[in-house]
Amino acid sequence: MYLITVFGNLLIILAVSSASHLHTPMYFFLTNLSFVDICFTSTTVPKMLWNIQTQSKVITYTDCINQMYFFILWAGLDVFLLSVMAYDRFVAICHPLHYTVIMNPRLCGLLVLVSWIMSVFLFFCTSLGVYLSSAATQSSHSSAVASVMYTVVTPMLNPFIYSLRNKDIKRALKRIIGFQQCKGH
C-alpha cells in the first residue's frame, strides 16, 4: 500500500508537470496534494515497516517528537489543500466567466502558502495535546487500525479519487507511458 501511495502520487506529479495543458489552478493544487500525501505517508510508514521487520517498538523521544511534528504538519496541510481545492471548484462552477481572473497564479500561490502557514500554528498544539492525552484511554488495536486508515489508506486512494478518474490526467499518463515505450525501443 505504501508503494502504491508513493508511485500513484508521483505519477500524478509527473503527468501534471509534463503536460502543459494541465498547468491550471486545479492541477496545481492536485500536484501539491500529491506531494503532501507522499510526505504524510512517509512520515510514519517507513518506521512502522521497520518496527514490523525488527519486531521492535522502540522510538527515541526526539524521534517521536519529530515524527509527531511532521505528521501533524502534513495532516494539517492536507486538510487545508483539500479546502483550497474545494474553493477552486466553487469558483469554477459558480463564477465560470471570472474563473481565470479570480484564480490567477498569484492567488493560487498565496492559497498554498497560507495552507502551509496555517497547518506548524493551528494544528500543532491541539493535535499534540490530543495524541499525548489519548494514549491511555484507547486500546492499542483500535488505535492501530485507525492509524493505518488515515495514514496509509486515504493517501493511497487520493490519486484514484482526484485524478486517475480524470480524462486529462489519463491522457497525460498514456502519453508519458507511450513516450517511455517508444524511447525504450
Q: What is the pLDDT of residue 85?
A: 92
pLDDT confidence of 68, banded at 50, 70, 90? Answer: confident
Which one, of 48, 11, 52, 35, lies nearest residue 151 by Cα?
A: 48
**8 close to 156: Cβ distance less than 8 angstroms:** yes
pLDDT confidence of 150, banded at 50, 70, 90? Answer: low
Q: How far apart are CA 15 and CA 171, in angstroms?
A: 9
User: Percentage of the chain with pLDDT > 70?
Assistant: 77
Candidate ranges 61-65, 83-87, 123-127, 133-137; pick with highest mean pLDDT: 83-87
pLDDT confidence of 75, banded at 50, 70, 90? Answer: confident
Average pLDDT value for residue range 144-167: 70
Task: Give phi and psi for 139, each to the nearest 5.
Answer: -75, 150
Q: Is 55 left (phi over 0), alpha (psi -120 to 50) or beta?
A: left
Higher per-residue pLDDT: 155 or 46: 46
In the CATH scheme, what is the homologous superfamily, with its name and number, of domain 2-184? Answer: Rhodopsin 7-helix transmembrane proteins (1.20.1070.10)
The reply to whether the predicted model has a pTM over 0.85 is: no
Q: What is the pLDDT of residue 168?
A: 81
